[in-house]
Chain A
Amino acid sequence: MVLENQDNRNLWEKIGDFFSANSIWMKWYCTGCGAIELPPTMTSRFDMERLGMGPMATPRQADVLLITGYLSSKTLRRVIYSYEQMQDPKYIVAFGSCTINGGIYYDSYATINQLDKYIPVDLYIAGCMPRPEGIMNAFADLITMIKKGQANGWRHYQENYEWYKQNQLDSLKEVIIHDEFHE
């Protein structure tokens, strides 16, 4: 997606992307161990609010979903559910190697190995775990990508919805659980 260089946005979309880039609210959802790096990123030491970023309570309000590390299949359902509740344009930033290839959990029965088979990832941050500097750097990159109109994961998800859905079903059987604990 990053490789697509042609820019066919109209003026309004460019202005809209300017606003989106400078005000990114993240869904405060800690899926894995990497979430521990976020408090220092938010607070006095690194101060993510400089970039116009801040935490938000619900997916309806948020722009970016952070997958902070390994993702168990149980959590994946919730991630998908939350991601689908978010409003477009929406972005996903994946932390660490676990989201790329499973990391040290590559052979675990309970975690998934390759995140972008299930939901579209706009940006990966390398490291296990990435330090706050790395996270800040990634957010700066995300802002540049949004400004250039290159963070199109949500559009990709809409266009290839069938494919993503099939992958999700293959791995999880069903995304939304119906059992005696939830009925």
Chain B
Amino acid sequence: MTVMNFVYGFIVLLAAFIFQTALTGVNRKVTARIQKRYGPRWYQQFLDIFKALRKGSITHGWVFDFGVIMALGGIMATVIFIPVAGFEAFPNMDNVFVISYLLAVGMLGMAMSAAGSGNPWASIGVSRALTNMVAYDVPLMIVIFTLIFAFDTASVSEIAAMQQGMGVLGWNAVRMPLGGIVAFIALFGMLGKKPFDSFIAPAEIASGPMVEYGGKHLGFMFILHELMTFIEVSLILSLFFGGGSSILVYAIKYAILYTLVNIISQVMPRFKIDQAVKFFYRVPLVFAIIQGLVVIFLGWGVSVWF
């Protein structure tokens, strides 16, 4: 661990932020085109974030500030651990459990800060967000568990590397189709995209956890959201869609995956939170367990595809 690791980490952070924010901007335009609108400028998301950081803000006590800082800090640390096309700022630290649990620091910080505002809408939003997490994470973790068992490693970059060199057929989403479906559906839940966006429902619970944020706190939340999106999409991309052999391939695949999720979510209605739990425990959980049993007992899709 040298100074260079931290510099690399910062570069990853900056690149992830710029790339994902630009992509979000482009996707706002995509959304607009789906709705037959012209849409905002592609860099609109940057303007929004810097505008929010520029504005004045309020605080409801130290936990309101501390939670936001803790959330962004945890998420930034997680981004640093994410391997991008085989490149890792800190080598050998891309354990999938570390990434998925360190992500929870960010969520806990955000939840804490939101509840610290003393607003009931925020608490309701947090309660829904946590319920949503229990819904999507269990099937996803079972599929990831299957991957770890199959490849005997929990390193994201190693799992990604094992899928490369065989084209599309090498992807885990193709080798283990049910697991791929589960991961793709879980990605909607992770990103809080429709139909699983009831915890930030703006018209119903006044945007839930975000209700009291204004100014720099809101700017932090936007940065956090972009980085969290980066982590989640990267994780699914590396684990199930083969990662990328070079940065360019990675970026293209990433953009396609994210845009696909966005396009699908734009034509979806919204689930109630208990419907979301029911859905995840009826369909993806069963898929995940079947996939797990197939891999563990039959060994299909593990060694070589053909």
Direct contact of A and B (CB under 8 A): yes
User: Could you tell me which A residues sit within 8 Å of B by CB distance?
Assistant: 16, 19-20, 22-23, 25, 43-44, 47, 49-50, 52, 55-61, 63, 86-89
Contacts of B48 in A (CB 8 A): 23, 25, 52
Q: Is the CB of B28 within 8 A of A44?
A: no
CA–CA, A59 and B37, complex, Å = 26
Contacts of B37 in A (CB 8 A): 43-44, 47, 49-50
A–B Cβ pairs within 8 angstroms, 23 of them: A16-B54, A19-B47, A22-B41, A23-B44, A49-B32, A50-B39, A52-B40, A52-B48, A57-B206, A57-B211, A58-B211, A58-B214, A59-B214, A60-B211, A60-B212, A60-B218, A61-B207, A86-B214, A87-B55, A87-B58, A88-B55, A88-B56, A89-B55
Interface size class of B (residues with CB under 8 A): 20 to 34
Q: Is the CB of B39 within 8 A of A47?
A: yes
Contacts of B51 in A (CB 8 A): 19-20, 22-23, 63
Q: Is the CB of B40 within 8 A of A49?
A: yes
Q: Is the CB of A23 within 8 A of B55?
A: no
Q: Is the CB of B35 within 8 A of A23?
A: no
Sorted nearest first, the 9 A-B pairs with minimum C-beta distance are A60-B214, A19-B51, A57-B207, A23-B51, A57-B202, A47-B37, A23-B47, A87-B214, A16-B54
Q: Is the CB of A47 within 8 A of B38?
A: yes
Which A residue sits closest to B221, measured CB to CB?
A61
Query: What is the CB-to-nearest-CB distance from A82 to chain B, in angstroms, rounded to a whole number?
Result: 12
Which A residue sits closest to B29, measured CB to CB?
A49
Q: Is the CB of B28 within 8 A of A87?
A: no
Contact of B36 with A by CB under 8 A: yes
Contacts of A86 in B (CB 8 A): 214
Contacts of A19 in B (CB 8 A): 47, 50-51, 54
Which B residue sits closest to A59, measured CB to CB?
B214
Pick the residue among A16, A52, A57, A87 that contacts B57 (CB under 8 A): A87
Q: Is the CB of B44 within 8 A of A87?
A: no
Contacts of A88 in B (CB 8 A): 55-56
CA–CA, A63 and B32, complex, Å = 22
Cβ < 8 Å to A, chain B residues 32-89: 32, 35-41, 44, 47-48, 50-51, 54-58
Which A residue sits closest to B206, measured CB to CB?
A57
Contacts of A25 in B (CB 8 A): 48
Which A residue sits closest to B207, measured CB to CB?
A57
CA–CA, A88 and B187, complex, Å = 37
Query: What is the CB-to-nearest-CB distance from A121 to chain B, in angstroms, rounded to a whole number?
Result: 20
Contacts of A57 in B (CB 8 A): 202-203, 206-207, 210-211
Contact of B230 with A by CB under 8 A: no
Q: Is the CB of B35 within 8 A of A43?
A: yes
Query: What is the CB-to-nearest-CB distance from B199 to chain A, in angstroms, rounded to a whole number?
Result: 13
CA–CA, A119 and B47, complex, Å = 28
Contacts of A56 in B (CB 8 A): 202, 207
Contacts of B188 in A (CB 8 A): none
Contacts of B202 in A (CB 8 A): 55-57
Query: What is the CB-to-nearest-CB distance from A45 to chain B, in angstroms, rounded to a whole number?
Result: 9
Contact of B301 with A by CB under 8 A: no
CA–CA, A78 and B3, complex, Å = 54
Contact of B195 with A by CB under 8 A: no
